Each structure stands twice: as C-alpha cells, then as structure tokens.
Structure 1
Amino acid sequence: MNNASIGRPASFLVHVSSSESREIHAFWLDSQTGGLEPVEVVAVPGSGAPTRGNIPLAWSRDGKVLYAQVRTDPFPLSAFAVEPASGRLRLLESCAMPAPMAYLSVTRDGRYLLGASYDNALLAVNRIQADGRLSMPCLQILPTPPKAHCVIEAPFGGFVYATSVDGEAILVYRLDAASGRLQAVAATAVRPESGPRHLVFHPTLDTLYCVNESAGSLAAYRVDRACGALTELQYESLMPAGFSGRAMGADIHLAPGGAFIYACVRKTDTITAFRIDPATGMMSSAGAFEAEDYPRGFAIDPAGRFLLCAGQNSNRLAVFVIDPGTGALTLVQRHAVGRRPSWIEIVPAPGQLAR
C-alpha cells in the first residue's frame, strides 16, 4: 500500500533543505505520533560547489509550488511542483537571480515572491505566474543596510517588514498590491549590538517578534496599523549569565494560535520557549530546551503538536512533542538528513490541501 497518497489521514509533508549536499529531504510526519516516513531526496539545481549559508524555502499560497534558492553563482532559484498523489516534487523551472537570497517568502495574495539577500544587502520582488513559475527579470530590487536577513508581509495593512543584521534595524515598506512594488516608509532602530534576524507576527494581536542574531535575544514590538511603525514592548535575553561574544540567534516561530513562541540560538544549541499573554502579547519564560547541534532552523506543524529542528552540525532532523499546557519540548526521535541542514517547511498533505 502506498501511504503517500491523496487521502492519507492525519499527516503533514515536511521538507528539509541541506546546503552542503544541495538537496531537499522530504518526509511524511504523522500528526499523532510524530513519526517520520521518508518520501524522497531531491537535488536542488545549482553549481557543483556547496552553497554557502542555507537553501531558503518558501511555499506558494495554494501549497502547489515550493521555491528554493542555491546561494552560489549564478544563484538559481528553483520552482518545484508538488504531485498531489505522492507528495513528490517535480522541477518546473530554475532561473538565475541577481543575488543570493537568505530568505524567501510569498505575499499574502500569492502574487509575488519576496527575497532578502544577506550577502548583497538588498530585497528582491518577483511576480509569480499562474502556474507558479516566476516572471523574470526581478520586478524590483531595493538596497538595504548591511546583511538583510528576512522579509515578510504583515497580516494587515499591506506592509512588508525586513531585517538588517548589521544595520541594526527593522525596515518597513508599503506594498502596492497592483504593481508588486515596495515603497520604504519607516525604519526602526533596534538596541545596539542586537542584530535583528528573523521576524514573526502574532496571529491576532498587532505584535511583531524578532530574534536577534548577535545578542541572542528576543524582542516584541507593538505595530501601528496606520503607518506600520514599531514600538518596543519587551526585550528578553536567550543567553546564560556570563556569555560573551556573538550568540548566533537563528530562527523564531509561533505555535498556531499564538499561545507560545520559540527561538533558537546556535552557540548554546538551545530552543527557548515563552508563553504569550493573549491580551497584551507580552512574553513570560516557559523554559530552555536542548536542541540539535547548531540549530539553525526549525518549524512547528500546522496543528501545533510537534516542533522539528535541523542541526546544522549534526546533520539530523529532531522531532519534539510540544506540551500544550506548558510549551515544554520532549524529544520523540531523530532522523538523518543531508549535510548542513538549515531550513524546514511543514504543510498539510497534498490531498488535504486539495480538499
């Protein structure tokens, strides 16, 4: 019996990209047990050299196309269609980009792909065609302060937010939905030597959370819906007392519904959890948990039951069950993946998406 089929009950599709081996490992995740079943390993188009940093991934809004970019010249960005009957990926196209992107995201209307280039300090916008392919050349390229690392659209107001690690700022743009072009409207300076890296919005509150790479900290900001401006609400260290140096904070995710937020730090091999007040968005500590060696990326399944973490040095994918009451993480299993894994995406099984 082929379990990877339409109608597969209670499962999610997991993709893990690994930069050194330049491949994507796909798994079925059992939404009840946390068990992983391998689906396939897909080579990502690019040069023969290992790609530096990571291979960012992003899904189209309809869940039919997965985007991935290799960060070595000529910086190919590939679009893969997912086959509904099997969950396997089929390459649609691979096109050269003007710069290597550390982060990819799709706008809420599904019409544009946004990219942030850490190496070249820029943002890029591409129009997405009806079949999921990208229109080239880029619709827009915008310079940023040094080391752009994230770009996402807010769930309200047509604003887009981006981080600049060494520019010590969160940048705000207004998105013109008709043209796809971004217009800079504001920039929020963060605390010195923070190094803002990745962002996530609370699903119901006007609150933005940011994990800081340099300081190894987590900041919360109130968002002004009228103009997109940010006001700091809270700033919490993720580091043990006495730590010095660059912490290498990495990734941040909210549990579905926004009850808990998680952030990882590479230098301490930990994922830290905070409980979020549903009225104010303020955070209170829910514990720090041992993760994989050098946890660069992690993700939470759409049901909020499991957290999956990629160990960039261990070359493993770890599955943790999330305690719904406390937010605590308990290891379920580990699975080998490619060399230097760094990005994870989890979506419902294709057959469930099609319904």
Structure 2
Amino acid sequence: MSFLVHVSSSESREIHAFLLDGQSGRLELLETIDVPGSGAPTRGNIPLAWSRDGKVLYAQVRIDPFPLSAFALDAGSGRLRLLQTADAPAPLAYLGPTRDGRFLLGASYDGAMLTVNRIEADGRIDFPCLQTVPTPPKAHCIVEAPDGGWVYATSVDGEAILVYRLDEVSGRLAPAQPAAYATRPGSGPRHLVFHPALDILYCVNEHAGSVAAYRVDRATGALREQQYESLVPPDFSGRAMGADIHLTPDGALLYASVRKTDAITAFRVDPVSGALTHAGTFEVEAYPRGFAIAPNGRFLLCAGQKSNRVSVFAIDSATGALALLERHPAGGMPSWIEIVPAPAGMRS
C-alpha cells in the first residue's frame, strides 16, 4: 500500500507532495504546489487538513488577507487542483473538519479566536464564517472528540484547554460547564490528540516541553489530569517550544516533538489505562515543528523547520525506537505534514 504525503513550507509558500511506499518507506516527489497568498513568507506555518472523505485538502497562508484554499485531489494522478480560495477573518494556526465532515473548525493564534465554516458537498468552504468564538490569548489547536459532541481547543498563553458542546446540526459551538480546564502554570498547551479507543486526551505543552494526559468525562466533557511527563533534559531552562503530538493508529505508541532540543520523545501507552511509559528520545530534523505517522503505523515523517528537509523514520513497534531511512528537501521552513492512503486507482 502507498500513501500520499503533503508537506507545507511557510517561507517558500508551497506544498510538496510525495508518494510514500508503505513497505519500504521510500519517498518519491510527485509535485510542488504554490499556495495562494501574497508574495511574502507566511507567518509560522501553513496548516493543512483533509476533508473527511479524503477528496479535498485545505490550507491557509497566515498573512493578510488570510486566504484559505481548498485543493481537489485527482484520484487518478494523485495531484492537487485548486478548487477555491477565499479570505478568512483571521490567520489560522490549525484546521480540522468535524467528524461528520460538514464543518471546518479553525484556531487562530494571532486572532485569539475559533472559527466554524460550513463545508459544501463538493468540498468548497462556505463563507463568511458560520461562527467566530473569542478565546484567551494564542489559540493553537481545535479537535472534536472521536465519538462527537465535544470540541476541545488550546490557549497557549491562556494556560487552558477550552471545552465546547458542538451542535452537530447547526455546527455552532457553545461553552461547556465548566468552559475551560486550567493547565499547570507555565505549561502552554499547544496540540491535542485523542486515544483511538480510550477516553484519554493527550496534550503537548509548548512552554514547558511536556506531555499531559487527561481523562475525559463523556457525559460532561470535563477533563481530569491523569499524568504529566517532561520531554526535556533535567538541566534544560527557558521555553522548550514543544510542538506536535501524534499516536500510532493502534494507540500503542505516542510521540511528541520539542523544537529547542531537535528531538522527538516516544512513550509506550498502556492499552487499559492510557498511562505513558518513556520509550526513548530521538534526534530528528532541526526544529521539528510538525511530524506525522503513516496510517499503517510503520513510519514517522518529520519536517525540520530549520533544516528545510523532511525525514522518514521506521518505527519499531515493539520498542518505539525511530530509525532514519531517508531525507529529502522540502522548500523553505517546512512545518506541517499530512499523510493519507493513496487512491486505489492512482496511476504510478
């Protein structure tokens, strides 16, 4: 089986599309796509997200007028075609469709807000926004619970994980009671990921360089801290710049990156409790702002924002260890990776 890999690079304002061999981990460049926007390098990153049906890829350039673009996937060639570009009300650091695929959620770090847009049947985004929701400073991530109903968003400088009830008919968000969970002081919650089978939410913390695990109450959406683990050496000082977090598809291994240490840390995940056991810390690309795990769980791909490369690592499923296989250039300041199965009828 093969996978499509898309790496967005903010300085060169482009997306590099690769084909990943699901057996060997070999990476082959398919095309490079310009992302609509002004000629200046975009701020921070170019967030990417696939529609739930895997037919449309969304991307935003985070400089005025904040164009949000939709690219249609050609199932025969695996190439992208620009479907739509429209201006969003703010620069978005994170994009994600709801589980039913009807709405696109966004989190704005600079604008301190969340956005909701309806997604049309052909994958186009309906403008203007259906809803904008103000947040504490530096909203960075927004995800829906796997079984629906609850939406969680991070506020880095607000030191909180925000909780909302999602109306799955209208798409509107309403604050839960309580509406926010205060994280440990100095944490700086950034990105979130749900365990695929347990009521556990994991968070990578930007300032502290740590991972926190939270038990989720399905009835109320409330969170309770279960575990807190550092990702940096004991003598580390300053802001660690924790960045990204992902689980293998079976939920057996969790990985989190720290930009200041150029490293990704692995944890084994207890299948009953969701508890984390440290499995090793591995040197990766310089400033690993974004990484992703292949849907077959065999490979981790890491983007180095300062090395301008994407690297492929083999995952040892027994130990969690990462072994470098390949490195490829990926434009200027690559910082986001999405991996999806290649279309069944795709021509080689």
Give your verdict on TM over 0.5: yes
The match for 1:224 among 217, 226, 229 is 217
Is 2:340 the counterpart of 1:347?
yes
Q: For structure 1, which runs of at least 5 residues remain unmatched after alignment?
A: 1-9
The question of whether the paired residues in 1 share the 8 Å contact of 2:279 and 2:321 is answered with yes
- Separation of aligned partners in 1, 2:74 and 2:249: 26
- Separation of aligned partners in 2, 1:135 and 1:341: 28
Instruction: Give the drift of 1:242.
Output: 1.1
Deviations along 1:319-354, one digit per CA (max 9) or x if unpaired, are 00000111100000100011000000000002269x
Q: For structure 2, which runs of at least 5 residues remain unmatched after alignment?
A: none
- Separation of aligned partners in 1, 2:301 and 2:345: 21
The residue type paired with residue 45 of structure 2 is: N
Note the 1:82-97 alignment, pairs <5 A: 82-97=73-88
- Separation of aligned partners in 2, 1:351 and 1:99: 37
Aligned to 2:196: 203
The question of whether the paired residues in 2 share the 8 Å contact of 1:83 and 1:90 is answered with yes
Aligned to 2:236: 243
Aligned to 1:3: none
Runs of 4+, deviation exceeding 6 Å: none
Aligned to 1:60: 51
Instruction: Give the drift of 1:156.
Output: 2.0
Aligned to 1:6: none
- Separation of aligned partners in 2, 1:167 and 1:38: 40
The question of whether the paired residues in 1 share the 8 Å contact of 2:279 and 2:319 is answered with yes
Secondary structure of 2:344's counterpart equals helix
Deviations along 1:198-230, one digit per CA (max 9) or x if unpaired, are 000000000000000000000000000000000
Is 2:152 the counterpart of 1:124?
no
- Separation of aligned partners in 1, 2:116 and 2:158: 21
Aligned to 1:70: 61
Is 2:167 the counterpart of 1:137?
no
The match for 2:159 among 158, 168, 173 is 168
The match for 1:213 among 197, 206, 210 is 206
Note the 1:211-290 alignment, pairs <5 A: 211-290=204-283
- Separation of aligned partners in 2, 1:352 and 1:12: 13
Is 2:306 the counterpart of 1:306?
no
- Separation of aligned partners in 1, 2:302 and 2:28: 16
The residue type paired with residue 31 of structure 2 is: E
Note the 1:168-187 alignment, pairs <5 A: 168-185=159-176, 186-187=179-180
The residue type paired with residue 262 of structure 2 is: D
Instruction: Give the drift of 1:120.
Output: 0.7
Q: CA RMSD in A?
A: 0.8
- TM-score for the superposition, normalised by structure 1: 0.96
Aligned to 1:338: 331
The residue type paired with residue 244 of structure 2 is: D
Note the 1:8-19 alignment, pairs <5 A: 10-19=1-10
- Separation of aligned partners in 2, 1:33 and 1:157: 36
The question of whether the paired residues in 2 share the 8 Å contact of 1:57 and 1:69 is answered with yes
Aligned to 1:7: none
Aligned to 2:91: 100
The match for 2:289 among 296, 299, 304 is 296
The residue type paired with residue 121 of structure 2 is: A
- TM-score for the superposition, normalised by structure 2: 0.98
The residue type paired with residue 304 of structure 2 is: G
Deviations along 1:130-185, one digit per CA (max 9) or x if unpaired, are 00001110000000000000001001241000000000000000100110000011
Secondary structure of 1:38's counterpart equals strand
Instruction: Give the drift of 1:20.
Output: 0.4
- Separation of aligned partners in 1, 2:114 and 2:174: 12
The question of whether the paired residues in 2 share the 8 Å contact of 1:320 and 1:333 is answered with yes
The residue type paired with residue 24 of structure 1 is: I
The question of whether the paired residues in 2 share the 8 Å contact of 1:157 and 1:226 is answered with no
The question of whether the paired residues in 2 share the 8 Å contact of 1:219 and 1:233 is answered with yes
Instruction: Give the drift of 1:316.
Output: 0.2
Instruction: Give the drift of 1:251.
Output: 0.1
Task: Please identify, of 29-38 and 343-352, the stretch whose mean Cα deviation from structure 2 is larger.
Answer: 343-352
The share of aligned pairs that are identical, in percent, is 74
- Separation of aligned partners in 2, 1:157 and 1:257: 20
